[in-house]
Amino acid sequence: MTTATHTDDGRKWVSAIIVTVGIFMALLDTTIVNIALPKMMAALEADYYGIQMVVISYLLGSAISMAAVGWLGDRFGAKAIFLAGLGIFTGMSVLCGMASSLTFMDALRFCQGIGEGFIIPTGLVILYETFPREEHGMAMGLYGLGASLAPALGPTIGGLITEHLSWRWIFYVNLPICIVVTLAGWFILKRVKALEKPKVPFDGWGFILMAISLSALILFLSKGQEKGWLQSDYILTLMLIFVITFIPFVAVQLRRKEPLLNMRLFSKRTFAIGVAVLALFSFATYGLWLLLPIYLEKLRQYTTLTSGLILFPGSLAGALSILVAGILCDRWQPKAVLLICLVGGALMSFDFHTGVDTPKSQIIWDYAKWIIFTGGVFVPATVISLSALSAKHINMGSTILNIVRLIFGCIGTAVSVSLFSNKTATFYTILASKVNYGAPATRGLIGEQIFLHGNALVGPALQKFQAILQGYISSYASSYALEATFRMLGLVICVALIGALFIKHRKASSSKVVIH
């Protein structure tokens, strides 16, 4: 994107801190919000189908904006785009904290995601510009530090803020930090001139078609269950919009000499399979990340702080596994690392306990085991995929990988909520039909209520008893539904594992890999 320059040591390290903090803040919002979703449901009058859009809209905004970052960086420079991303992210964070309706929140989260889509890829470019070539490994390490610690600390920080202030402060907290980072970046980050090369026109039609088609696809999948799928004119319209925009988008990209997204890269078998594996894996992991706080706070009734603390050890283990996976990819075949992590991730998804009385220690252990394996997948999958490309296509390949990761994260989130809701209804019907009023537990509950309400279950007392019994059935139905959904997501990881077996990869002494 730009030429590399050397700066003095003092400025180099200050610049590194600025970029790392910026990346940290942007990625923090991918997990800090999840832990507060149950609280936001009440304030924004949203159900599961509605609240998922708070997460999905952020990922979608990031994916769409990321497609334009390469062209914008070539035209205006990495520093300008990085600071613009910080400005958008900061302003939208404040407005998100003030949102009074779900529709307003979704629109603002989409715009906030645009800021993140600018920050993440340009941050690494700035580090590469700032550090000399012999220190690019250190630059990658700093980038990885911010990228791995932010998701790890997000649930705990979000739980702490929500418990002692309110969920709105998970957005307001971005304001002072991001203002300082933006001002420091304006004065300290050095502007590097773009490489002298012919100006490539922006693929405006391709960008518009991509944005419309992806938005229609995500809305179709996230609202399908709520609207009744093909019984709804709204869903049918979205399907039609997707078809009539996606097909021309692919055609335009294949025809253009300088496309927005180079679809010809999928002719490389290793790259195509690697992207497919990462897509399926992102589908499964983003779905589980959304459902886990719902289990902890809605079903188990833990506070947001307690929920964050339960997830904290596993999150740190996940951050560590990313670094370990990177080291192992240098020493082993990346394909072997990928297969081990996929097998472990699938098995741990099947073994995840979501019972109504599962001990905290078991939840902590289950999440830690799951994320140790799943956290290690992204690095080898990215290394393998990009190893099939020539040096001039690495940046484009990385952009495609990350857009696919975010889009399938959106899809996985939407489908997981639909699966959970469907299975909850199914299990509730089954359990309600099998209530045995002669069973000791049921008789004990009836006896307890009769004792409390004067030897009779009539009127309000009967209604209270029915509500208590319904609550028991609902809790167990949700518990079984979560377990079934996690196993379905485990099956998706198994499909990714099967795809990974067909990868033909030779370990290369290749250049650095850009992981957003």
Give residue-wise pLDDT tens across range 199-240: 678 888 999 999 999 999 998 888 887 787 778 888 899 999
The separation between CA 388 and the C-alpha centre of its own chain, rounded to angstroms, equals: 26
What average pLDDT does the segment 273-284 reach?
Answer: 93
23 and 57 assigned to the same domain: yes
CA–CA distance, 350 with 231 (Å, rounded to integer): 33
Place of tokens 């998100």: 96
Confidence bin at 134 (pLDDT 50/70/90) = low
Q: Looking at the DSSP assignment, which residues form a beta bridge with residue 194?
A: 2
280 and 419 assigned to the same domain: yes
302 and 343 assigned to the same domain: yes
Structure tokens that stand for 222 in this block: 């996230």
The structural domain count of the chain equals 4
Q: Determine the pLDDT at residue 443.
A: 54
220 and 160 assigned to the same domain: no
More confident of the two residues 89 and 6: 89
Report whether pLDDT(505) > 70. Answer: no
Confidence bin at 441 (pLDDT 50/70/90) = low
461 and 494 assigned to the same domain: no
Tens digit of each residue's pLDDT (9 = 90 or more) over 460-499:
555 565 666 777 788 889 999 999 999 999 999 999 999 9
Rg of the chain taking only CA atoms, in angstroms: 24
Q: Which of 161, 183, 200 is at the close of a domain?
A: 200
Q: Determine the pLDDT at residue 154.
A: 82
Place of tokens 């296509």: 393
Tens digit of each residue's pLDDT (9 = 90 or more) over 71-87:
888 888 889 999 999 99
Average pLDDT of the chain, as a whole number = 83
Confidence bin at 3 (pLDDT 50/70/90) = very low
As a residue count, the chain comes to: 516
Which CATH number does the domain housing residue 48 bear?
A: 1.20.1250.20
For residue 468, the one-letter residue type is I
* Helix (H), strand (E), coil (C) string for 248-282: HHHHHHHHCCCCCCCHHHHHCHHHHHHHHHHHHHH
Report whether pLDDT(438) > 60. Answer: no
Segment of 16-20, 257-261, 280-284, 313-317 carrying the highest mean pLDDT: 280-284
279 and 140 assigned to the same domain: no
462 and 354 assigned to the same domain: no
85 and 129 assigned to the same domain: yes
Number of alpha carbons in the 13 Å side-chain half-sphere of residue 57: 21
Report whether pLDDT(7) > 50. Answer: no
Report whether pLDDT(68) > 70. Answer: yes
- From the number of C-beta atoms within 10 Å of its C-beta (0-12, 13-18, 19+), residue 485 rates as buried
Q: Looking at the DSSP assignment, which residues form a beta bridge with residue 2?
A: 194
Q: Determine the pLDDT at residue 506.
A: 60
What average pLDDT does the segment 94-104 reach?
Answer: 93
Tens digit of each residue's pLDDT (9 = 90 or more) over 346-392:
999 999 998 888 999 999 999 999 999 988 888 888 888 888 888 78
169 and 308 assigned to the same domain: no
pTM for the predicted model, two decimal places: 0.86
What average pLDDT does the segment 140-153 reach?
Answer: 71
123's CB contacts (< 8 A; 6+ apart) are 19, 20, 22, 23, 82, 143, 146
246 and 267 assigned to the same domain: no
Q: Determine the pLDDT at residue 456.
A: 54
Q: Determine the pLDDT at residue 5.
A: 45
Tens digit of each residue's pLDDT (9 = 90 or more) over 386-412:
888 887 888 788 888 889 988 998 899
270 and 242 assigned to the same domain: no
- For residue 73, give Cα distances in angstroms to 1, 2, 125: 6, 8, 9
Report whether pLDDT(284) > 70. Answer: yes
Report whether pLDDT(454) > 80. Answer: no
Report whether pLDDT(112) > 90. Answer: yes
344 and 247 assigned to the same domain: no
Report whether pLDDT(187) > 90. Answer: no
Q: DSSP secondary structure string, 1-65?
A: -B------HHHHHHHHHHHHHHHHHHHHTTTTTGGGHHHHHHHTT--HHHHHHHHHHHHHHHHHH
For the four alpha carbons of 400, 53, 317 and 482, in that order, the dihedral sign comes to negative
> If residue 411 lies in a helix (H) or strand (E), which one and from where to where?
helix 394-433
Mean pLDDT lowest among 95-104, 126-135, 303-312: 126-135
Enclosing domain of residue 23: 1-200
Q: Which of 200, 222, 244 is at the close of a domain?
A: 200
Q: Taking the chain, what is the end-to-end CA distance rounded to the nearest angstrom? A: 16
CA–CA distance, 386 with 379 (Å, rounded to integer): 11
